[in-house]
Structure 1
């Protein structure tokens, strides 16, 4: 604010100097105009050889003389000197209209005197008309204006500084409130909201935006805490099983059935490995999505024929039977093959785990998308839980047994990978009972395949 007041002071000072300069120039021009009008009138009388004595003038501040080439005063106004010309003869040019400034003592007026000269007479008898006017009024006017500026300038600057202080203070008061609110939130390291002013201006919008950001950060922090807690819980379970198996084997000594122990340890190790792999995959997906702004900017994307991929995935599940229903024409999509294979594997794993008799993989074309369905005849998923099952570490009550496999990350991985592929995944009831998972994948935009 001090810089602004300083700049304002400099601007006002320059404006005051300019005002004084313009005022002096205008008043000077007014004096010259009045003097030249009088001189021109006297020159006309001299040209007609009709100079009266004394010369007529308007106002007591004018002095008029008519001098010849030798510097002698031929005629003068009633108050002008009849012996000594107002301007020394050597300073006169009988052929030019001049503007001169002489001392008031020479003219008999107070202060400096403005003298104008106008050629008159004839070539045989050249004359010069001299008209002098006192500059006292001009000096007095400029002095009054200068005094007014010198008195009002500091008062005006002080008043503007006070107004600026109040205005800037009122403007920055909500910003200071935001700063204090942010400091309190940082100090207690917990949730909170910044105060929102009721002004409806930019500061109001800034506070609303910052509160939205804080809400998103708090939501992300809560999700991270829940994710860490769930991951720790899931990782602790196989580690605890491994430790228990080893402790029991050590206590039994020679009576230990090492075949059973190694089998159990291998199962827990595989479960732990799958869990760690799933966690790493989710972490990489989040990092990739954040780095590319959620777009498909990733390598390894190419054309994939869905029929071949579904047949290859189904061949890994001999029991219960996994049946594939495909159209006669090939269905090409654009995706990352490994990610698409992971999507189908997770869905078929989940379907096989809950199916009673059969799992059906089908594919068909629907305009700009290919529809891939994975249908099982199991118990299905209630409609109220179909959005929740895509959250991480979410398992329904009938899927919480250790032997059921999985840590509740399969469908979460499916949702992230399908989103990266530019598709969508939904859950619905199957026609004959059970669950149908529908994938919509974009059609290959070229004529390949």
Structure 2
């Protein structure tokens, strides 16, 4: 599968903005070329030709006038036509300037005179002037016109067009993307609620046809999920009731066996009945709603101390108060399942550690068992999944402990992680959210990590 190009934005607004920007840019370039080619260029050429004719005619007329009329003639030219005539060469200004119209005037003068001309520039306190030397009877006559005579400002005009275009593009992208992203954001939040075990409100089925169909399908799917969960719970409850009745009769029958019945046979039958009863109990627990519960602020040291009390082979040292806002019942079930899993598959000591130094509390259960391969760390959270060689029916496990812990962690926005422990074994970590609300995705799996400083 080809990866997305780095220059393509990830958000819908960014992609809409990029699409509009490219479209408007292409349209603007074509429009600009059409206007320049079919409107501005012909007008500029005609204007430059008229200006060149006036300049040449003014210089020739000046020599045909009597001396006493020349000053008045020059004054009227400057007042009415913004053209100046002078005999001495103007002081030139070599600084750079941008005036594309000057090229058209040069071409018109060259066509009118039949020879190359050189236009120089001078700068006074009011405006920039452009001068050309024309042949007269007594020598060259310098004819000039100011920059202000041509009322064009290409840089300012282009800047204004670009600014207005960018503003229109951004506003259009906001309007277009906003109308699409708002329903999609509501849909994404509702889907997240479903993933966390909540039952979201019915989405509004309004707007464009595509979004209406999407919202309608989501509402139908969400309703079917709620119905499936309710039916599953009801089904498991019925199975539990139907199975426990004959199990109770079997237990009574075992107790009423004759005295000469083999004690080993009776013990084996009682173990089978207990195992079946445990399987049914855990299956019912998993089938129940594992959604979020009521959160309250507690000291994690107290919760962990209550859990490890009376358990053999568990090392736990309470430290400074470490407060968190969690569903205590769910947290007790998660840590309890992790402890039972560690004690079941490890014959050595199991450590429980609490780390409150990084802004978010982390509870870790460390064992020296056979460990879990990296490729299996996601699969062990599936119901009834068992690792070959390290999990067997003889250990008493049902394959539901980690699945229940994962579902509870997911519903309560806790991060449940399994890592390899240095020296052998596993590290099961439960990362709790801080006292202030924060969204954080659940992470499963991971690489080998160092043991925390407090243990191992």
Give the TM-score category using the shorter length.
0.3 to 0.5
Look at both structures and tell me which one has the larger radius of gyration over its CA atoms: 1
**TM-score, L = length of structure 2:** 0.41
